[in-house]
Structure 1
Amino acid sequence: MNLKRILKNSITAIVFLFAIAGFSQSHNAFTLQLETFYAKIKEQKSPQIIDARGTEEFLTNHINGAINFNLESKSCAENIARLDKTKPVFVYSIRSGRSGQLANELLKNGFSEVYDLQGGIAAWMGAGKPFYSNSKSKLTLTEYNKIIAENKTVLVDIGSHYCGACKKVKSVLETINAEHGAYLKILEIDLEDNPQLIAELKIVKIFPTLIFYQNGKIVFKKEGFNNLKKEVDMAFAH
């Protein structure tokens, strides 16, 4: 009797687990790396690309051919209704927060093929893919290289005004500058001011990206700022 009960409970548990797995798969968008995301877009004659950032961010720069709306838009439901459910939808934001939320909302509304770009706009522009910008970079690649060449030690911070993680880097940079400022040049590069430079560097995959140079050579490159102060201290110790 106990054996039958154990077998019955085991079968019930397995069925339940499969049900959960099926539900999770049907309610989660596919997060794609840049080249796969780009290749799938190229397969479409008129790709449905959605920029899930705010209007101001979108007007400053965006992927060529993208339209702009997010879950906070008053017209979000209307915008979703205008999309073709029989075709893939490609979404992106700065990282994956807003685009991930929008992607899952699209799936709930009956879209079966939704792709979210890993690394967001940073990955796209950092690889030099086609984009629109309403302004030219304040800093050229030539000027950037000159700064690296003329300063023995440089810490480059690449991010966006609208990136939450990027804002948190600033306090760490202040601490680093207070301790090493006499021997260190800190160069801050924001997407909104230097889109072409970020594209030309071809080194950015996510915001924030930190690059530490000594004597014109990269000592380390970080995606995110965890242990940044520790790694800078170690670089100076050597």
Structure 2
Amino acid sequence: MTLLRHCFFYLFVLIGPLSARAQNLSTDDFEHQLKKTPGAQLLDVRTPGEFGGGHLPGATNLDFRNPAFGQNLTALDKTKPVYVYCLSGGRSAEAAKLMREQGFSSVYELQGGYLKWTTKLKPIEGAKASPTAKAVTPAELKALSASNRLVLVDFYAPWCAPCQKMMPIMEQLQTQYAGKVLVVKADADASKALMQAYQVDEIPTLLLLKQGKLTERLIGLQSAAYLTDLLDKNL
């Protein structure tokens, strides 16, 4: 009998954490499961200001920092799955914990939150595109690469937070390497053909072209020191 109790205990220890972790989904799994779940409820727990700057299609906004958040959850159906996200995963984890405590049967969290969702170029709504965005075509980049020894292409979007953090760094590099390295800004919303040509499916992405050939592909936020070192080595 004691052995049997020990077996149940170890099963609980092993299976319990795995079950909890299974509620935290990658961007691809979150998108896939959300689409195939009838009656799914999609919840954005960021502030109304963040929500107004862009959100997942069909999401409902309930601000987790609002003192009435717990009470506002009564607007949701506890018997139906809830898919929840915030900016990067912190608030949504707290919200999901509270929802489970309140008796919600199925709560799924988006790993990396809205930041990861947008950098993977997943669909959003409510974000305003830049009115000055101009497409960079594959032909234009080829011509620029032919006349410039080093070309650094920055794939970005105005709604992408990591891209915004990179902006001062790119401006610094543009000034620092003027006449040596051509920095090309490629808006992800406007330059779809270029992104397809170079198989870019996440932003920010930097491509370094040396004498027309792709030599480096960098994905995600990069430091000024790292980029400076990279360019110096290729000059």
TM-score range relative to shorter protein = 0.5 to 0.7
Q: 1:93 corresponds to which residue? A: 86
Relative to structure 1, the CA distance from residue 167 to residue 126 in structure 2 (aligned partners, 3 Å threshold; closer, same or farther) is closer
Q: 1:114 corresponds to which residue? A: 107
Q: C-alpha displacement at 1:48, in angstroms? A: 0.7
Which letter maps to 1:98? R
Q: C-alpha displacement at 1:58, in angstroms? A: 1.1
Q: C-alpha displacement at 1:209, in angstroms? A: 2.5
Counterpart Cα distance in 2 of 1:135 and 1:40: 27
Q: Which moved more, 1:126-135 or 1:57-66?
A: 126-135
Q: C-alpha displacement at 1:210, in angstroms? A: 3.9
Whether contact under 8 Å (1:148, 1:216) holds in the other structure is no
Q: Secondary structure of the equivalent of 2:177?
A: helix
Q: 2:41 corresponds to which residue? A: 48
Counterpart Cα distance in 1 of 2:140 and 2:50: 28
- List alignment gaps of at least 5 residues for structure 2: 1-5
Q: Aligned to 2:128, which of 135, 148, 157? A: 135
Which letter maps to 1:196? D
Q: TM-score, normalised by structure 2?
A: 0.67
Once the two structures are superposed, residues 94-147 of structure 1 have per-residue CA deviations (whole angstroms, 9 ceiling, x without a partner) of 332332332233223323422222343344445554431253333546247687
Q: 1:58 corresponds to which residue? A: 51
Q: Which moved more, 1:70-79 or 1:179-188?
A: 179-188
Q: Secondary structure of the equivalent of 2:84?
A: strand
Q: 1:212 corresponds to which residue? A: 207
Counterpart Cα distance in 2 of 1:199 and 1:89: 32
Q: C-alpha displacement at 1:15, in angstroms? A: 9.1
Alignment map for 1:198-209 (pairs within 5 Å): 201=195, 203-205=200-202, 209=204
Give aligned pairs, total: 222
Kindly, what percent of the aligned residue pairs are identical? 21
Alignment map for 1:143-182 (pairs within 5 Å): 143=136, 148=141, 150=144, 152=148, 153-156=151-154, 158=156, 163=161, 169=166, 172-173=169-170, 176-177=173-174, 179-182=176-179
Q: Which moved more, 1:30-39 or 1:173-182?
A: 173-182
Counterpart Cα distance in 2 of 1:199 and 1:15: 54
Q: 1:83 corresponds to which residue? A: 76
Which letter maps to 2:67? K
Whether contact under 8 Å (1:85, 1:111) holds in the other structure is yes
Which letter maps to 1:237? K
Q: 2:225 corresponds to which residue? A: 229
Whether contact under 8 Å (2:135, 2:190) holds in the other structure is no
Relative to structure 1, the CA distance from residue 211 to residue 21 in structure 2 (aligned partners, 3 Å threshold; closer, same or farther) is same
Which letter maps to 1:234? L
Once the two structures are superposed, residues 140-199 of structure 1 have per-residue CA deviations (whole angstroms, 9 ceiling, x without a partner) of 462476875547422526377784x6676466556645643443455678xxxx783488
Q: 2:3 corresponds to which residue? A: none
